[in-house]
């Protein structure tokens, strides 16, 4: 049976901060699990905001999930590409937006910091104001 997991389940898997909940999850990690893209975005925010994890630790934790053979990510290649960009200083959500928009030639935004950051990577789609 395949189960989709929510952010709090993914975060619990990564940080094991609640022993009782972690134990309750253990049997499910022998099943097939699915992680939606929205859960990855929210999990990054939780790990950064609630747990105060620095970028390298956060990226390493999220990447570690790809080592579980029974866990499938929606848009796995885009999530990995976003982690690469995040390691280069991009905001994670912005990085994921770009990675998921790889078939587009331009991304429109009013976020000037995002535009500046993307301009340093010529291999990315153009990011500019409308």
Specify the pLDDT at position 52: 95
- What is the pLDDT, as a whole number, of residue 61? 94
pLDDT value of position 106: 95
Q: What is the mean pLDDT of each run of 10 residues along the chain (130 residues)?
A: 92 89 85 94 96 95 92 95 95 95 93 94 90
**pTM, entire model:** 0.89
Instruction: Given CATH 3.40.50.280, say whether it is the number of domain 2-74.
Output: no
Specify the pLDDT at position 121: 84
| Angle 16-18-21 from CA coordinates, rounded to 5° | 100
The number of beta carbons lying within 10 Å of the beta carbon of residue 38 is 12
Q: Write out the E strands in 11-60.
A: 32-35
């Amino acid at each position: 049976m395949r189960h989709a997991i929510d952010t709090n389940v993914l975060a619990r898997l990564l940080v094991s901060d609640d022993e009782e909940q972690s134990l309750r999850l253990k049997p499910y990690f022998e099943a097939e699990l699915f992680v939606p893209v929205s859960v990855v975005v929210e999990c990054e925010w939780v790990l950064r905001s609630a747990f105060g994890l620095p970028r390298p630790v956060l990226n390493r934790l999220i990447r570690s999930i790809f080592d579980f053979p029974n866990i499938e990510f929606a848009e796995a290649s885009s999530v990995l590409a976003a982690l690469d960009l995040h390691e280069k200083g991009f905001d994670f959500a912005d990085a994921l937006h770009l990675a998921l928009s790889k078939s587009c030639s331009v991304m429109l935004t009013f976020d000037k910091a995002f535009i500046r950051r993307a301009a340093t990577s010529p291999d990315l789609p153009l990011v500019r104001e409308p």
